[in-house]
Amino acid sequence: MLSYRHAFHAGNHADVLKHLVTIQLLRYLGQKDTSYMVIDTHAGAGVYALDGGYASKNAEFESGISRLWDRKDLPPAAAEYVDVVRQLNPDGKLRYYPGSPYCADAVMREQDRLRLFELHPSDGKILTDNFRRLEAERNPRGNGRGKRVMIHLGDGFLGLKALLPPPSRRGLVLIDPPYEVKDDYRLVKNTIEDALVRFSTGTYAVWYPVLNRMESRQLPDKLKRMKANGWLNVTLTVKTPSPDGFGLHSSGMFVINPPWTLEPMLKELMPYLVKVMGTDSGAGFTLESGQTKAVDTGTRRV
């Protein structure tokens, strides 16, 4: 199915969680001089206009990035994330939102590599045009950056195999399919199992919706059983689920082989996100890791 367009959801609470975690993972990788590779299996369009088009129809960003935009009390990790968004909005007005590819590009160094997959033909063209424009702005003479960013118009689940392991043996694989069809859950599990055989020391970050459907509930437990050095699972809930089950009220990021810095950062950050983005007493978070097996929970009371 190719009906999903992330532009409808750009900048919502799920994007906030996904991109906050992604930026912190890349900050950690950047602490060593050795280059790393970022592989995004479902890259989307790269950047989204919030003041028109798809994003303005439901204005989901108002429950996400907008709640952080003008705050002066941001924790360090949240401030880094908002700074990345501000790079697309230098006049201070929130008009554009960066998808995962732009978040990664903003954090990466010259020696690092970004490999993007997008199957949807329209989003693939927009993604290509966006990065061509970005390259022209940064490098008007058209030399010096080489193959830093490469875009593949195809299936990221299938294309990932050919890129593992990366030459430097350091990297992050971001997997966030639309989950429109049940088979996406199976493909996530199978893809990571295969990837860990090829690149066992890589970091894998999986975004997933927290829904009532069985496949969504089972995915984290299946990922916990992967043969890896450890895992971390964090979820953010912004409101009580509606009786009809419609709407995304909660999402998670599951990280395999996480850096040791991630869990303490999230322990500080998640209560803040619940306070700022939660809308009723059902708001909260969970944070668990494979090392401690302890579960932290937080709930906002209003």
**123, 6, 8, 122: which is closest to 56 by C-alpha?**
8
Residue 91 is among the residues annotated as catalytic for this protein: no
Burial of 104-140, coded b for 16+ CB within 10 Å and e otherwise, reads: bbbbbeeebbbbbbbbbeebbebbbebbeebeeeeee
Residue 42, marked binder: yes
How far is it, in rounded angstroms, from Cα 288 to Cα 295? Answer: 5
How far is it, in rounded angstroms, from Cα 95 to Cα 75? Answer: 23
C-alpha distance across the termini of the chain, in Å: 40
Q: What is the largest CA-CA distance in the chain?
A: 57
List Cβ neighbours of 84 (8 Å cut-off, separation of 6 or more): 19, 23, 98, 102, 103, 106, 107
C-alpha pair distances (Å), 198 with each of 40, 50, 58, 64, 189: 17, 39, 41, 36, 15
Residue 156, marked binder: yes
CB contact at 8 A, 15 and 73: no
Residue 112, marked binder: no
Residue 152, marked binder: no
**4, 18, 165: which is closest to 81 by C-alpha?**
18
Residue 64, marked binder: no
| Structural tokens at position 42 | 């479902």
Catalytic residue among 40, 112, 123, 176: 176
| Structural tokens at position 3 | 């009906």
Active site residues: 176
Annotated binding site for S-adenosyl-L-methionine: 19, 42, 100, 118, 155-156, 176
Annotated binding site: 19, 42, 100, 118, 155-156, 176
